[in-house]
Amino acid sequence: MPDAADPAPMNARRKFRREGEERRRQDLIDATLDSVAEHGLRGATVRTIALRAGVTAGLIRHYFPGKEDLLQEAYAALMGRMTEQAKAALVMDDASPRQRLAAFVTANLNAPIIDQRVFSLWATFLGRAGADPTLARAHREGYLGFRNEVEAVVAEVLAAERRKPDAAELRRHAIAINAIIDGLWIEGCLAGEMFSQGELAAIGIKAVEAELGLGPLE
Amino acid sequence: MPDAADPAPMNARRKFRREGEERRRQDLIDATLDSVAEHGLRGATVRTIALRAGVTAGLIRHYFPGKEDLLQEAYAALMGRMTEQAKAALVMDDASPRQRLAAFVTANLNAPIIDQRVFSLWATFLGRAGADPTLARAHREGYLGFRNEVEAVVAEVLAAERRKPDAAELRRHAIAINAIIDGLWIEGCLAGEMFSQGELAAIGIKAVEAELGLGPLE
DNA sequence: CGGCTATTTATACACTTGCACAACAACGCC
DNA sequence: GGCGTTGTTGTGCAAGTGTATAAATAGCCG
């Protein structure tokens, strides 16, 4: 019995679909972030990225001038999503300033912001900030944006307590609170199983309230 | 006038010196850390590293089974130096517990611990911790060691204030204080010029004392 | 001073990388 | 339905990668 039906021509070209430009670019950026998170910048080759995006390597150069540009855009996308998520926890209006601050801390110290994959990306890219001024500036802008949000909430909280902090004191509080959240965020991402559910958030809230000199809620 | 003396044979082999084994290994590890800090894991190739160490690439395989082992040892060396430096700030015995705690915070938020190069290395390697359990465990051990030191000092400080915290409270304080130091350390490394001399340390000390509920020194 | 040995150099190799380019085929338009 | 546009594929290439291995020489011991 000869080989059954094998009608596929030996040189069959791969089938493909044309996607919208925006969609393809997003897919490539997502595939890039996945590759970096999994294998680091080393393993994020055009072929790996293309495979993950379900296309062939050559296509990347149709959408990006070079691989470096793709990485650049991927980092920008990552930063955008991170700050967006973080700020989203602040939009609840129908709450007291103090409640909003606590909710902010809680949101930043639980999933999905506590996430090992995001941390890997954050660390991998920031490791290049010392040598790449573009990355350094991007971080600084994101950091200052975040800190200003913190400062605004702190001002509201203290105002509600009828305290009148000056600008320097406000700045100090914002820097310290930002550090508390960052430090706990890192530990949660790196060793989340060392902490019980909600423990990091509880520690964070207590630390923040101590920093602001807030007594227990009456 | 014919070419002056050019006695060097065209195929002159490179001159070299034989170094002690320990010395060579250290040089290679240092060269590796330098390469990673400057060009990231991507740019840390055997040839780059060897060039920096003043040898040729083949020699690396004479001292390490493979490049991956060299990177592993380099990371171990980095961690060792970091924790050693951090703990060194705790050895001053002739001081009150509270002064020792303040000195500890100050030391961790100034040069040489605040250092962009070390941060780059820290971030670059930790970016791989999500995928490399070895790195993850190494970090966890270093972190716990550091945190235990903090917890011990905190216990002394509170004892001197005649307070009797239970184990859970002590643990909470240590986690929070560790986060404060880490968060401020990161900002100092990444954007040191945003803070005036000694500002981070001052913020850190105030935040830590607030966390512990310490009043002003009388 | 001459030989031994292990450190070091140099070369080779198989493989991967980013990028260039030509062929191809999916989809919109008539 | 045919046809042109262009998104997409596949192949090729030069440079760079880690590793293997042979050749050379520095330094010690007699």
Model confidence pLDDT, tens digit, residues A89-111: 888 777 899 999 999 999 999 98
Residues 6+ apart with CB under 8 A from B181: A183, B105, B108, B109, B150, B204
Quote the pLDDT of residue B9. 52
Q: Say if the Cβ atoms of B179 and A194 lie within 8 Å.
A: no
Backbone angles phi, psi at B131, to 5 degrees: -100, -15
Do A44 and A105 lie in one domain? The reply is no
Dig out the tokens for A147 from the structure. Answer: 């800190």
Backbone angles phi, psi at B140, to 5 degrees: -60, -40
Do B123 and B173 lie in one domain? The reply is yes
Do B147 and B194 lie in one domain? The reply is yes
User: Is the residue at B4 inside a domain?
Assistant: no
Q: Tens place of pLDDT for every residue, chain A, 218 residues?
A: 444 444 445 567 899 999 989 999 999 999 999 999 999 999 999 999 999 999 999 999 999 999 999 999 999 999 999 988 888 888 877 789 999 999 999 999 998 999 999 999 999 999 999 999 988 988 899 899 999 999 999 999 999 999 999 999 999 999 999 999 999 999 999 999 999 999 999 999 999 999 999 977 76
Structure confidence by residue, pLDDT tens digits, B152-178: 999 999 999 999 999 999 999 999 999
Structure confidence by residue, pLDDT tens digits, A153-179: 999 999 999 999 999 999 999 999 999
SS3 assignment, position B199: helix
Do A109 and A198 lie in one domain? The reply is yes
Average pLDDT, chain A: 92
Enumerate residues near strand C (beta carbon within 7 A): A 13, 15-18, 43-48, 57-58, 61, 66-68; B 11, 13-14, 16-19, 21, 24, 50, 55-59, 62
Length, in residues, of chain B = 218
User: Is the residue at A117 inside a domain?
Assistant: yes
Do B110 and B180 lie in one domain? The reply is yes
Do A144 and A174 lie in one domain? The reply is yes
Full domain range(s) for residue B156: 75-212
pLDDT over 50 at B7, yes or no: no
Quote the pLDDT of residue A183. 98
Do B145 and B204 lie in one domain? The reply is yes
Q: Domain count of chain B?
A: 2
ipTM of the complex: 0.90
